[in-house]
Chains A and B, each alone.
Chain A
Amino acid sequence: MTTNTPDTANDNKWIGKRTIRPDGADKVTGRAAYAADTTMPGMIWGKVLRSPHPHARIKSIDTSKAEVHPGVKAVMTAKDIVNFPIEKSVMLGIQDMRWMCRNVMAREKALFAGHPVAAVAATTEKIAAEACKLIVVEYEVLPFVIDVEEAMKPEAPILHDFIRFKDKPSNIAGTLEHRLGDIGEGFAKADIVIERSFRTQPVHQGYIEPHACLVSVSDGKATVWSSSQGQFMVRAMCAYLTGLPQNDIRAIPAEIGGGFGGKTIIYLEPLALILAKKSGRPVKMTMSRAEVFHASGPTSGSYSTVKLGATRDGKLVAAQGTFCLQAGALPGSPIRGAAGCAFAPYDIPNVHSFGYDVVSNRSKVAAYRAPGAPIGAYAVECVMDEVAEALKMDPLDFRLKNAAKQGTKAAHGPVYPRIGFVETIEEARKHAHYTTPLPKAGKGMLYGRGVASGFWFNAGGESSAQVNINEDGTVVVITGHPDIGGSRAATANITAELLGIDYKKVSVLIGDTSVIGFSNLTGGSRVTYASAMVVTQSTERVITQLRERAAKIWKIDPDAVVWENGEARPAGDNAGKFEPLSLGQIAAQASATGGPIGAGQQLNTMGAEGGFATHVCDVEVDPDLGIVRVLRYTAVQDVGRAIHPSYVEGQIQGGAAQGIGWALSEEYIFNKDGKLDNPSFLDYRMPVSSDLPMLDSVILEIPNPKHPQGVRGVGEVPLVPPLAAISNAVYDALGRRFYSLPMSPPKVLATMDMAAE
């Protein structure tokens, strides 16, 4: 159910329409080609040998037995990968190649159980696996640390001797600070001050498609088929890590089975490339689900402390937050999202927000949907609930009273333009969900309701598009972004709208690195936003050409031609009397009027303004079993403009579902040897569909003034509020607050029993 479906009764024919997704039929019939679906003649299989130890110095690696094993075609170690010395940072986006080269294959040390130490390519998967066992690695096993609080202690085992904090060896690899006003003065004015600490566990993005690739190298040129959140990222990282120039690598994006940020980096592609180069054969590599869990990046576990101060009339006067995030084996945890987004929804004059990036012996963190922001919002929004309660204020009224608006200066820097945060709270407050009373406790069950809000930066960045008019008047649009959230359908809606033609006449394709210009990652909720900009500008240039062609046919001035409803028409009576020319008619005469019609645009897009959401959640708690079930869930979000509402709802629902898993059941569990104990979907408990109620999404459209269609990013905000919304609901049901996630049944029961004693 969707309430408040955006008003499509405006002039738009396609923008805002629930057009049929172009990838749908292929996906439901199993024809869509994902990364593991491509094969080649002569193809062989690569396998990775992984460290069994969470922390060990690699003293030697002897691959000689594996190399002579029948069927083995190539063996590689870190020696085959370009080394980026510790002294000099080389950045690609947010990734530092010093860390990437050590992440794809352990160099000096194995830093987590599952860290690759060597790889083999052989004629069958089985032989490759056998050969891995023949590689002799001599380890000096070292003490390890996984938990973020433990890793920050002075006596903790140190992962990297090159990391120093306050002049001492440390696991604190970096910090980030936002300051606004003076919190000392602010807290002095507060009538109510509440400070709490919170813990979250690492959680995985849980994409259904494991990492996979096929790489072929011939005549020194490599072709990479893989599923990722950016073929240009794949190309650039492979170039860095193998030393090939970018023009010798062609990265072809496969259909992608989910990424959620986790496929903004690579694991297998450079290994397969090196193995392919060494063996002269195409090499395919796939991860098992267990490998995905052990060795790809979940997001950080965290330890946060948040302190809020408010005056008796309900105005926030000061806020302080410390967010310690587990980076995994190498630096780079999303402290910017945690410390930057945490207080962003509110107009608070005095703010101090501080983030610690902490390395520890688990796999290197990868982006996960609004990286870091859910962690920060969890702590802040739970304390908001406590402050509202102490003030005897409705939690939504309290948020409304402090909501950021146009002109508010945020602690992370910007002064907001027109934003829609207030509207999300007002909408939630009057929504039937919020005005309907909870079920009465009974049959042993308890009920509670919670609310929370959230913010995500959103992103612009580089995008390229090409719009070509075919000879028959149909249209092909090529963009450079893998489509994860429906960007092909959204792009087709926009192109059809601008050209004034039927949606079915527009095909949108994703170009590989050799056919379209540089396009940055599908991430940061940026693709529909940025694609819309380059596609709009390309299409506008095409329309200019179409007008010129009609003018040429009519022998009048192009300025005297307008483009309306898919046709060229004389601008007025003065222009002369001509029958309109359709796109098809102009296309048919293209050769005679100047050649093929088409245009491209490449931009570094700006103006992706932040997104806000407010969520309401009802839970049912079985206090004797400790089971929390979400009964009703409503997510209200300002999306700027919903180009394709079904996809927008899908994003909102998906984010809420992942948040429910994070809050209630998902966690990395490490055994006493530092190895992940639950590397499967059986024991890493993502919610299944029967665990979830219908997730209701309310789309608000407060257009982004800096975008041609008013688009704001959509995909990440929905994962920001759920952790706190659910925690607050559980408190409402049980009268006890939980300060750590997940609120799994044993934890809930233990807390209840403690309370009873």
Chain B
Amino acid sequence: MDIQYVAPRTLDEAVRAFAAAAGAGRILAGGTDLLVQMRNGVVAPGTIVDIKKIGELTSIEETKDGGFRVGAAVSGAVLREHAKLSKVWPGVVEATNLIGSTQVQGRATPGGNLCNGSPAGDSVPAMVAAGAIVTIQGPNGRREMPVEKVPKGPGRLNLEPGEIVVSFTLPPRGKGSSDAYLRMIPRTEMDIAVVGCGVSLTMDGGTCTAARVGLGAVAPTVLLVEEAAKALIGSKLDDAALAKAAAACSAACRPIDDKRGTIAYRTKVAGVLLKRTTLIAAERAGGK
């Protein structure tokens, strides 16, 4: 079967082409998931819509209020080169930069990572912790959604037919705020997260005043763990608070036993990573 490839310059054209292809269409960002899946015979698209030629999807802008709008098709390598973004959202950038290798970084995008729908995608827990808002455009126009609402299950998304993820909006940061991401992989690189944990927080005089926790690879979708955040907020990130937040993470896990990790292992490690990630974020935010 022949594959049609289109690389429109505008989002409207892309939406049109994607909608026209109906079920047989696939968005191509970096292709580091899509091409692998095509080669393995998992997907066989009739039309490929390449979104890397569209300005809005491939740029990073500061928003008026001091936040950032990151195009869905920006590669990890470009993200890393953005000095200010790396300073303000180090956790989001480090999570995205963990994807694959140097070669993969030249292609892989946060939009692809999210839309691939894997619960183990590395950038997603960091985006969830960051409170990123996703902008989506489809045949019925534009809408926004918190990032944690996008995944529906492994490989499934809460997107309507023809909808494309346009960008991630990261909120402005006050003083004493930072974020971090850690993952557990058996090797040092080229592996899939067995557990991933993103923490974003604000510290004020040694007390944690705001926090969000994202957990990956422990449930059918990446989780926003509000109980863990609650345990951190108002505390001085002392051992008791960290233990409570860690327990909340472990309690939130609904993992599977598979070749990559056991239920017991993932559940325990979720708590361990929460503690470690929180301390890194707090250190970056200016210390406990």
Q: What residues make up the interface of A, taking CB atoms closer than 8 Å to B?
A: 624-627, 629, 665, 669, 677-678, 682-683, 685, 687-688, 690-691, 744-746, 749-750, 753
Chain A nearest CB from B40 CB (Å) reads 9
Provide the residues of chain A in CB contact with B184, threshold 8 Å.
625, 627, 745
Q: A625-B272, A746-B262, A749-B268 given as contacts; is B188 within 8 A of A685 (CB)?
A: no
Give the complex CA separation of A749 and B268 in angstroms: 9
Asked if A665 and B192 sit within 8 Å, CB to CB, the answer is no
Are the C-beta atoms of A683 and B260 separated by less than 8 Å?
yes
Q: Is the CB of B187 within 8 A of A685?
A: yes
Q: Which of B187-213 contact A (CB under 8 A)?
A: 187-192, 194
B86 to chain A, nearest CB (A): 22
Q: Which of B190, B264, B272 contacts A750 (CB 8 A)?
A: B264
Contact of B259 among A624, A625, A677, A753 (CB under 8 A): A677
Are B191 and A682 within 8 A (Cβ)? yes
Given contacts A669-B259, A677-B259, A683-B259, contact A626 B265 (CB under 8 A): yes
Q: Which residue of A lies closest to B275 (CB)?
A: A624
Report how far A687 CA is from B187 CA in the complex, Å.
7
Q: Which 6 A-B pairs have the closest CB atoms?
A: A746-B265, A690-B188, A624-B272, A746-B262, A669-B259, A678-B259
CB distance from B255 to the nearest CB of A (A): 11
Does B188 contact A691, Cβ atoms closer than 8 Å? yes
CA distance A10 to B124 in the complex (A): 62
Q: Is the CB of B190 within 8 A of A688?
A: yes
Query: Nearest CB to that of A748 among chain B residues?
Result: B265
Task: Given A625-B269, A677-B259, A678-B259, verify A685-B186 contact (CB < 8 Å).
Answer: yes
The CA-CA distance from A745 to B272 in the complex, in Å, is: 13
A623 to B, closest residue via Cβ:
B272
Q: How far is the CB of B12 from chain A (nearest CB, A)?
A: 36
Interface residues of B in 132-175 (CB under 8 A from A): none
Contact of B265 among A677, A682, A687, A750 (CB under 8 A): A750
The docked-state distance in angstroms from the alpha carbon of A665 to that of B261 is: 12
From B259, B268, B269, residue with most partner A Cβ within 10 Å: B259
Alpha-carbon separation in the docked complex, A228 to B186 (Å): 32
By a CB distance below 8 angstroms, the chain A residues around B262 are 746, 750
30 A-B pairs within 8 Å (CB atoms) are namely A625-B272, A626-B265, A627-B184, A629-B188, A665-B186, A665-B187, A678-B259, A682-B192, A683-B259, A683-B260, A685-B186, A687-B187, A688-B188, A688-B189, A690-B187, A690-B188, A691-B188, A744-B186, A745-B186, A745-B194, A745-B261, A746-B261, A746-B262, A746-B264, A749-B264, A749-B265, A749-B268, A750-B262, A750-B264, A750-B265
Which residues from B are CB-within-8-Å of A745? Answer: 184, 186, 194, 261, 265
Closest CB of chain A to B140's CB: distance in Å? 38
Secondary structure at chain A's binding surface: helix, strand, loop or mixed? Answer: loop
Nearest CB in chain B to that of A680: its residue: B40
Q: Which residues of A contact B190 (CB under 8 A)?
A: 682, 688
Complex CA distance for A746 and B269, rounded to whole angstroms: 10
CA gap between A629 and B189 in the complex, in Å: 13
A629 → chain B closest CB, angstroms: 8
Bound complex: CA of A744 vs CA of B259, how far in Å?
11
Contacts of A744 in B (CB 8 A): 186
For window 233-288 of B, CB contacts with A under 8 Å fall at 259-262, 264-265, 268-269, 272
Please, how many angstroms separate the alpha-carbon atoms of A639 and B247 in the complex? 54
Q: How large is the interface on B (under 10, 10 to 19, 20 to 34, 35 or more residues)?
A: 10 to 19
Shortest A712–chain B CB gap in Å is 34
Q: Which residue of A lies closest to B265 (CB)?
A: A746
Whole-angstrom distance between the Cβ of A210 and the nearest chain B Cβ: 14
Instruction: Using A625-B272, A690-B188 as known contacts, list a sample of 7 further A-B pairs with CB atoms less than 8 Å apart, ordered by residue number in A.
Output: A627-B186, A665-B186, A682-B191, A682-B192, A749-B268, A749-B269, A753-B264
Least CB separation from A664: chain B residue: B186
Chain A residues lying within 8 Å of B268, measured Cβ to Cβ, are 749, 753
User: Which residues on B sit within 8 Å (CB–CB) of A749?
Assistant: 264-265, 268-269
- The reply to whether A688 and B264 form a contact with Cβ atoms under 8 Å apart is no
B239 CB, nearest partner CB in chain A, Å: 13
Query: B188 contacts which chain A residues (CB < 8 A)?
Result: 629, 688, 690-691
Min CB–CB distance A190 → chain B (angstroms): 40
Chain A residues positioned under 8 Å from B191 (CB to CB): 682, 685
Across the interface, which residues of B come within 8 angstroms of A682, CB to CB?
190-192
Alpha-carbon distance A685/B185, docked complex (angstroms): 11
Q: How many angstroms between the C-alpha atoms of A682 and B104 in the bound complex?
A: 14
Roughly how many angstroms separate A627 CA and B265 CA in the complex, as a whole number? 12
Closest chain-A Cβ to B203's Cβ sits at a distance in Å of: 22
**In the assembly, what is the distance between CA of A669 and CA of B262, in Å?**
13
- For B269, list chain A residues within 8 Å (CB): 624-625, 749
Q: In whole angstroms, what is the CA distance A749 to B187 when docked?
A: 16
The distance from the CB of B273 to the nearest CB of chain A, in whole angstroms, is: 8
* A691 B264 Cβ-Cβ under 8 A: no
Q: Nearest Cβ distance between residue A110 and chain B, in whole angstroms?
A: 22
Most buried by B among A682, A687, A750: A682
Q: Which of A625, A669, A677, A688 contacts B187 (CB 8 A)?
A: A688
Chain A contacts for B264, CB-based, 8 A = 746, 749-750, 753
Give chain B residues whose Cβ lies under 8 Å from the Cβ of A627: 184, 186
CA distance A624 to B190 in the complex (A): 22
Which interface residue of B186, B191, B261, B265 has the most chain A CB atoms within 10 A?
B186
What residues on B are CB-neighbors of A690 within 8 Å?
187-189
CB distance from A683 to the nearest CB of B (A): 5
- Distance, CA A95 to CA B58, complexed state (A): 58
Chain A residues lying within 8 Å of B265, measured Cβ to Cβ, are 626, 745-746, 749-750
Most interface-central of B187, B261, B268 (chain A CB within 10 A): B187
In whole angstroms, what is the CA distance A746 to B194 when docked? 10
* Cβ of B264 to closest chain A Cβ, rounded Å: 7
Min CB gap A226→B, angstroms: 24
